[in-house]
Chain A
Amino acid sequence: MALSMLAASLSAQSTAFRDSVELDPVVVTGTHSPKALKDVPVVTRLITRHDIKIADATNIQDMLTHEIPGLEFGFAMTQETSLMMSGFGGNAVLFLVDGERMAGETVDNVDYNRMNLDNVGRIEIVKGASSALYGSNAVGGVVNIISRESTEPWTANANSRYSSFGHEWRNGASFSFNNEKWNSQTSFQHTAIDPITLPKAHSSEEIAMELLKKAQGLPYDESVLKDDSNISRLFGQKTYNVKERLTWRATDRLTLVGRGSYFFRSSERDTHDYHFNAYGAGLKGKYAWDHDRHLELSYAFDQYDKANFMPDGTRTHDHDYSNRQNVVHGLFSNAFGKNTFLVGADYMHDYLTTYQFIENANHAQDNIDGYAQFDWNISERLNVVGSVRYDYFSASERKALTQRLAVVYKFPWMTFRANYASGFRAPTLKEMYMHYDMGNMGYMLMGNPDLKPEKSNNFNVAIERINRIRNGGFLDGIYTFTLMGYCNIFDRRITTVGRYWVVDNSYADGGYLVPWKDPRIEEYAYGDDTKYLFHADDGRTYEALSSALYWNEDGIKVWGVDVSVGHALDCGLSIKFNYSWMHETGNVIFSQFSQPRSHSMTWRLGYGHRFTRHYALDAALSGRCLGKPQSGQKDVDQGYTIWKLMLQHHVWRGVNINTAIDNLFNYKPKAYYYCSPLTKGTSFSIGLSIDLDKI
C-alpha cells in the first residue's frame, strides 16, 4: 500500500515536469485576449517555462534557434545580432515583452540581449502578418515574451551557469511575493563572455609563407591563400539586466501594474567599447465591470542609448544614439454571450537622435492608431475572428489600413484553421533621415523621407490534431500534429539602392543625390581607384561620392509548409519534431547576412523521471538542421546540423544542477561568415539553480 502510494506520488511529480505538453494552455498573442491554445484561430507556437528551463538558454536567440525551424540568427557587420525568419529579416518580426514594444535597434531589430529568460513564463510566436492587432513591424511574425506570474506566497531563486564557449558566466536571481492584494516579481541577471578567437583554416604564418613562395616564383598552395571568413574574433561582452513588476489588486475590479527595468551592455571592441543602456517603465490599469466587460489603460516608456568609450573610459561622442518611445494605450473589451468585441487605440511618440543624422540632429514622429476586433463564436465548433486597424505616422504622413480574418473549425478528429492577415512596416526615422558617411570613408548612407510602408498579405491554412492515447501500452500519452501551409506576399521592400552624392556645399545638406547611371557622372582613374565627377547643367563640376539610398523596391513571395509533430508519453519520454520548407521568389536579397534556406528542422527527444524522493532527471537531446541556401551561393554556410544534450538533475528539494554539451558532434564551419552558427566545436556548460523557497 505504502509502495503504491509512493509510486503514485512519484508518477505525479514526474508528470509535473512535462508542462510543455499541457493539454489546455492559454495564449494571448493571436487575438489580443486569453484563449485556449487548441481554440485559438491563429496558429500560435508556444514555448513553455519547461521548454525554457530544459533548453539551458541564456537569451531569446538561443531559445528560438533551438525551437523554431527556419529561424537563423547571425552577425551583421557590427557583430550585432541579425535575424532571418522564414525568408524575412529581423525588422519584419515584431518582438514584444508582455505585449509592449521596446525602443532602440542594433542592426535590424531591438537588442535581443535585453530579453533575458530568467523570469519568463512562456513565449508565444505567431508566424505571418499580425499588424491588424500590433501595427508596424508585424509583417513576418510576432514573438511575444510573457513574464511569469507566481501564485506561491513567495519564491526566491539564485542561479549560476558557466559555459566553456567564451568562458561565459550567467548569474541570476529572482524573487517574488504574492498575497491577496500584492504581487511582486523581481529579477536580476548578469552575463559575461570573453572575446573568442575563431579558428582559421590556416594560420597567418602559413598564409604568409605560401604568399612568399608565390612572390619568389616557387610552387605554392593556392588553397591556403583563400580564406572566406568574414569574422575572425567575437567581441567579449557583459550585460546587466534588472526588472521589477508590481501588481496591486486594489479592488475586485481594479488592478494596477507598475513595472521598471534597467539594462546595460558593454561590448569590448578592438579600438573602443560600445555601451548600451536601456530604461523601461510602465503603468497599467485594468478595470473589470464584470466578467464580460474590461477596460485597460496603460502608459509605457522605453529608452535605448548607445555610446562609444575609449579604453581609458573617455566617451568619444562620435557614436551617440538615443531612442525614446512613449506609448499610451487603451483597450476595451465587451463580451456578448460567447462573442467578444474589442476596441483599442494607441499613441506613440518616437524620438531619435543619432550620429547617423547630420550633426547628430534629432527627429521625432507620432504614431496614432485605432483598431477593433470581433470574436464571433458561431457554434461550439466554429469561431471567426475579424480585426481591422488604422495607423497614421506623422513624419512620413503615411497611413496604413490592415485587416485580419481568422477561422477555426473543430472537427471531432482534427482542427482546421484558415487565416488572412495583412501587415506593414512603417519606415523608421533612421531610414527616412539617415545621412552618414560610413566610417568617414566617403561612402554615404542616405535616408529617404519619401519612403512608403512595406506591406504584406499573408494567407495560411492549417490542420491540427491533439489526442490522448489510453491503451494501457507504451504509447500512452498525448500526441500533437500540426500541418500549416502559407503564402506571404511582401511588397515595397525597403532596401538600399545605389546613388551618387554630389558634394555641393551650397545645399543645406551639403549636397544632393543623382541616380546611379546619370550621364552627367564621369568616372576617372585615381591611381588604381575610381573617382567620380558630376558635371552640373550650369557647367560647374563637383565631386561625387558613391552612396546607398533607402528605397522601396519590389517585394517577394514566400511559400512554405510547417510540420510539427510531438508525443509526450506517460512513461516520461517525449519527442518533438518540427520541419519547415519555404521558397522565396521575387526580389530576393541574397547576401552573407540574408540567406533563405528551403529546408530546416528542429527536434528534441526528452525524458523526465523521478527516480527517488530526492532525485529526478530531465534529459533532452535536441538538434537543428539547416539545409543549403536557396541561392546556391557557395561563399556562405552550406547545410549543417548541430546537436545538444542537456541533463537537468533535481538533486534535492529546489536544488537543480544543469549540465549541457552543445554541438555534440563537433561541427566546425569551414569559414566564418556573418550568418555562420556561433560555434568553435563542442562546448559544455554546467549550472546550479536553487529555489530557496523549496528548501
Chain B
Amino acid sequence: MKMKYFMTMMIAAVAVMLGVCSCGDDDDESEKALASKVVGSYAGEEILTVMGEDSNSAATYVFAKASDTTVDLNLPGTTGGSMQLPPMQVKNIVLTKEGDVINGKIASYTGTVVNADGAEKSYTVSDLVALFGKDIVVVTYTLKYGNMPFAFVGSFSGTKK
C-alpha cells in the first residue's frame, strides 16, 4: 500500500514537474513570439502637440524586429507645413505581454539624424509607450529634436496594413 502510495506520489510529482516545464516552454515560446506578432506597418493618424497646439496628419509607423522581445520603431517625420521633421528611429523597445495586450516601452532613446539640409541633428524620444491590440497599435511619446527649445508630445493610432 505504501509502495502504491509512493508510486502515485512520484508519478504525480513527475507529472506536475513536466507540466510546469511544459507551461514554462509555452511561455518562453509566447515571449519569443512577441516581436513577430507586432512587426509590420501601421497606418493611421499621428497627432503632434507643440505648446498646446495639435497637428494631425496621416502617418505610417513601422515596427521592425530587433530581437524576440524588442522592436525598432521608425517614426515617419513630417514633410510639410511650417515644421519639418526628418524620419527618426527608436531602437530596442522592450515588449511584454499583459492579457491580450502587448506592451512596448522605452524610457529614453537618443539618436542622430540628417535633416533635409544635410545637417546632423540629435534627438531624444522619451517615455514611449506602444500598446498592441489585435491589428491595432497606439503609441505615445515625447520628442526633443535638435536644439528646438520645446518638446513635441506625440500620439499615434493605427491599424496593421
Residues of chain A having any CB pair with chain B under 8 Å: 76-79, 204-205, 207-209, 211-212, 214-216, 227-228, 230, 232, 269-272, 308, 310, 318-319, 438-443, 526-531, 545-546, 592, 635
- Which residues from chain B contact A209 at a C-beta distance below 8 Å? 131
Instruction: Give bound CA distance, A79 to B119, whole Å.
Output: 24
- Which positions 113-138 of chain B face chain A at CB distance < 8 Å? 115, 117, 119, 121-124, 126-131, 133, 136, 138
29 A-B residue pairs with CB within 8 Å: A77-B150, A204-B140, A208-B130, A211-B155, A212-B138, A215-B44, A215-B133, A215-B138, A215-B159, A230-B150, A270-B110, A270-B124, A270-B144, A271-B144, A271-B146, A271-B147, A272-B147, A310-B122, A439-B149, A440-B115, A440-B119, A441-B85, A526-B81, A527-B57, A528-B56, A529-B57, A530-B80, A546-B82, A592-B51
Contact pick for A272, options B79, B82, B122, B159, CB 8 Å: B122
Contact indicator A530/B122 (Cβ below 8 Å): no
- Which residues from chain B contact A79 at a C-beta distance below 8 Å? 149
Instruction: Give bound CA distance, A318 to B121, whole Å.
Output: 11
B-side interface size class: 35 or more
- Which residues from chain A contact B133 at a C-beta distance below 8 Å? 212, 215-216
Contact indicator A232/B142 (Cβ below 8 Å): yes
> Quick one: closest B residue to A231, CB to CB?
B151
- Which residues from chain A contact B150 at a C-beta distance below 8 Å? 77, 230
Pick the 7 closest A-B CB pairs, nearest first: A529-B80, A529-B81, A526-B80, A78-B149, A77-B149, A439-B148, A528-B57
- Which residues from chain A contact B142 at a C-beta distance below 8 Å? 232
Contact indicator A270/B126 (Cβ below 8 Å): yes
In the complex, whether B74 has a CB less than 8 A from a CB of chain A is: no
Contact pick for B131, options A212, A271, A272, CB 8 Å: A212
In the complex, whether B84 has a CB less than 8 A from a CB of chain A is: yes
Contact pick for A271, options B57, B83, B122, B128, CB 8 Å: B122
- Which residues from chain A contact B157 at a C-beta distance below 8 Å? 211, 214-215
- Which residues from chain B contact A227 at a C-beta distance below 8 Å? 153
Knowing that A270-B124, A546-B82 touch, tell me 5 more A-B residue pairs with CB under 8 angstroms: A212-B133, A215-B136, A270-B126, A271-B122, A443-B83
CB B106 to nearest CB in A, in angstroms, measures 11
In the complex, whether B78 has a CB less than 8 A from a CB of chain A is: yes
Instruction: Give bound CA distance, A319 to B121, whole Å.
Output: 13
- Which residues from chain A contact B124 at a C-beta distance below 8 Å? 270-271
Q: A216-B133, A270-B126 are in contact. Are A76 and B146 (CB under 8 A)?
A: no
In the complex, whether B66 has a CB less than 8 A from a CB of chain A is: no
In the complex, whether B21 has a CB less than 8 A from a CB of chain A is: no
- Which residues from chain B contact A318 at a C-beta distance below 8 Å? 119, 147
CB B132 to nearest CB in A, in angstroms, measures 9
Contact pick for B121, options A212, A440, A531, A546, CB 8 Å: A440
In the complex, whether B101 has a CB less than 8 A from a CB of chain A is: yes
Residues of chain B having any CB pair with chain A under 8 Å: 44, 51-52, 56-58, 78-85, 101, 103, 110, 115, 117, 119, 121-124, 126-131, 133, 136, 138-142, 144-151, 153, 155, 157, 159
The B contact surface, by secondary structure, is strand
- Which residues from chain B contact A211 at a C-beta distance below 8 Å? 131, 138, 140, 155, 157
Q: A208-B139, A272-B147, A319-B147 are in contact. Are A526 and B82 (CB under 8 A)?
A: no
Contact indicator B80/A208 (Cβ below 8 Å): no
Contact indicator B80/A439 (Cβ below 8 Å): no
Instruction: Give bound CA distance, A187 to B51, whole Å.
Output: 40
CB A107 to nearest CB in B, in angstroms, measures 9
Instruction: Give bound CA distance, A227 to B140, whole Å.
Output: 12
CB A503 to nearest CB in B, in angstroms, measures 12
Q: A208-B138, A529-B79 are in contact. Are A442 and B84 (CB under 8 A)?
A: yes
Contact indicator B140/A208 (Cβ below 8 Å): yes
Instruction: Give bound CA distance, A211 to B136, whole Å.
Output: 11
Which of A79, A205, A270 is most buried by chain B, counting CB atoms within 10 A of its CB?
A270
Contact indicator A528/B82 (Cβ below 8 Å): no
CB A610 to nearest CB in B, in angstroms, measures 50
- Which residues from chain B contact A319 at a C-beta distance below 8 Å? 147
